Amino acid sequence: MDNDTQKSALNSQLQSHYLQQQLTPAQLKALKQLKINRQAPPKLVIGAIAATIFLSAALIFYPSATLDYASISQQIAYNHNAKLQMEVLSPTMSEVQGRLNRLGFSLVSSKKLDPKKWQLIGGRYCNINGKIAAQMQIAHPETKAVYTFYQAKMSKEMLENFSESETAIDGVKVKLWREKGLLMGLAF
């Protein structure tokens, strides 16, 4: 999906979202109780209307600092399916961290991945949402299934309203979650 198509889809979703917003009965009642100064100068009224229109347009058409779950999941599924060789082969997170020193953040163990059930194979650099990220391979010792585990640093604004998601893309299940200030992803 190219950038123009993504922007168009995002604009459409934002418009749909804000067109569905309504005032609650309590808000309507409070609004009706407000006394409007009918003596306001016309320039002030016109300025207020212009500011309202400008802010509404900005909310609808300006892309906010939110994560694009579909795009990130697609990138993770693509990286998983590419089955690229790990740059660092090591069963320890500290050694992978030491060798992937351009990340700009520290790798962390996830509470969702019990170390007794998963073994780290190694890691490499990858790109998620335009940011450098870590892609690690982990294996389940009993089933020998190999998953890819991702960690990326995103701004606080982007992660603030982030909620856990799971989707399937190109035959790959992708789980996304936030943990310890990082975006985490798991593909299998």
Q: Tens digit of pLDDT for each residue in 101-145?
A: 999 999 999 999 988 889 999 999 999 888 899 999 999 988 889
Instruction: Kindly state whether residues 166 and 101 are assigned to the same domain.
Output: yes
Same domain, 151 and 86: yes
Q: Which residues form the domain of 42?
A: 3-61
Region for 62 from its dihedrals, namely left if φ exceeds 0, alpha if ψ lies in -120 to 50, beta otherwise: beta
Residue 125 DSSP SS3: strand
Residues 148 and 126 in one domain: yes
Assess whether pLDDT exceeds 70 at residue 47: no
**In angstroms, rounded to a whole number, what is the distance separating the alpha carbons of residues 181 and 185?**
13
User: What pLDDT score was predicted for residue 156?
Assistant: 81
31 and 118 share one domain: no
Task: Judge contact between 150 and 76, C-beta under 8 A.
Answer: yes
- Measured distance CA(75)–CA(167) in Å, rounded: 12
Whether 94 and 120 map to the same domain: the answer is yes
Q: How many domains does the chain have?
A: 2
Q: 32 and 77: one domain?
A: no
Quote the pTM value: 0.62
Same domain, 46 and 75: no
Split at pLDDT 50, 70, 90, the class of 13 is: low
In this prediction, residue 153 carries a pLDDT of 92
Do 105 and 32 fall within a single domain? no
In this structure, the answer to whether residues 154 and 83 fall within a common structural domain is yes
